[in-house]
Amino acid sequence: MDADHDLELTGRETCYDGFFRLDRFHLRHRRFDGSWTPVLDREVVLRRPAVAVLPYDPDLDRVVLLEQFRPAAYAAGRPAWMTEIPAGLVEFGEALPAVAAREVKEETGLAVEALEPVAEFMPSPGGFAEVVTLFVGRVDASNAGGIFGVDAEHEDIRSFTMDAAEALALMAVPGRIDNAIALIAFQWLALNREALRRRWRSSGRQSPGHGS
């Protein structure tokens, strides 16, 4: 399907414009059998692009994770304090590696020494226009842990470390890691951990923004 030829936008209005923006689209699209749908009304939450980072220490073979309150998880009847990885929205004109380094520093207090690109994806394309760029970030986790966050944003984030194998085993515990970004990061690390560890340990320190 081609959006230029198989989709017709007949109208659009903004329903809400706060921290997030909600637009209602009026559109129709071609079906796979060649016919067209009637005009559909679809609400979409618009967010700036986001960056997420799984901090990983290849020397200690440990990851750095976060725990923080999430009102949407509470609204969904899920545990309101979620285990996550550092993430944040991209400000206009920011380079993605710079956002990655900033979010890790704000939420864990650690400096990113190197970045390994993982994936770019949409966590919930049924209603959210958010695109997430995911990295694994090399850090020194020997003194990691504590309470972090930006005071002006009322963030209250607990940072802690785990042995990588122990953290990856959490994927087999129902409900323990229940957000998509962390799950994708964990799954990537499970497949690539030994190769990444060898590369990073043999390459020495690197500047943020470079892959391995």
Q: 5-26: b or e for each residue (b if 16 or more CB lie within 10 Å)?
A: eeeeeeeeeeeeeeeeeebeee
Cα first-last separation, the chain: 36
Residue 28 phi, psi dihedral angles, 5° rounding:
-135, 155
Surface-to-core class of residue 174, CB atoms within 10 Å of its CB (0-12 exposed, 13-18 middle, 19+ buried): exposed
Sign, CA torsion 51/188/73/84 = negative
Residue 164 phi, psi dihedral angles, 5° rounding:
-60, -45
> Per the residue annotation, which of 13, 153, 155, 166 is the catalytic one?
153
What order of strands is seen across the sheet that includes strand 21-29? Answer: 7-17, 21-29, 40-46
**Catalytic (active site) residue 153:** yes
**Residue corresponding to tokens 């087999």:** 172
**Which residues are catalytic, by number?**
153
